[in-house]
Amino acid sequence: MNNVFAASFRRGGPLPLHAQIVEAFRKAIREGHLKPGDRLPSEPELVARLGVSRATIRQAMAELIAEGLIYRYQGRGTFVAPRKFEHPLQRLVSFSEDIRSRGMEPGSRILFLGQIPADAEVAAHLKIPPGKTVLRIYRLRLANDQPVGLHDSYLSYLHLTAEELEQVGSLYALLESKGIVLAEAEETIEAVAATAEQGRFLNLPRGAPLLLVSRVVYTPEQVPIEFVRAYYHPNLYRYSVRLRR
CA separation for the pair 61, 83 (Å, rounded): 17
Average pLDDT of the chain is 85
Residues of the chain with CATH 1.10.10.10: 2-80
CATH 3.40.1410.10 domain range(s) in the chain: 85-240
The SS3 assignment for 102 reads coil
85-240 belongs to which homologous superfamily? Answer: Chorismate lyase-like (3.40.1410.10)
CATH topology classification for 2-80:
Arc Repressor Mutant, subunit A (1.10.10)
Average pLDDT over residues 118-143: 95
Q: What angle do CA 164, 169, 175 make, to 5 degrees?
A: 60
* Tens digit of each residue's pLDDT (9 = 90 or more) over 85-104: 555 555 677 788 877 877 77
pLDDT in tens, 43-88: 999 998 888 899 999 999 998 887 778 888 767 788 887 766 555 5
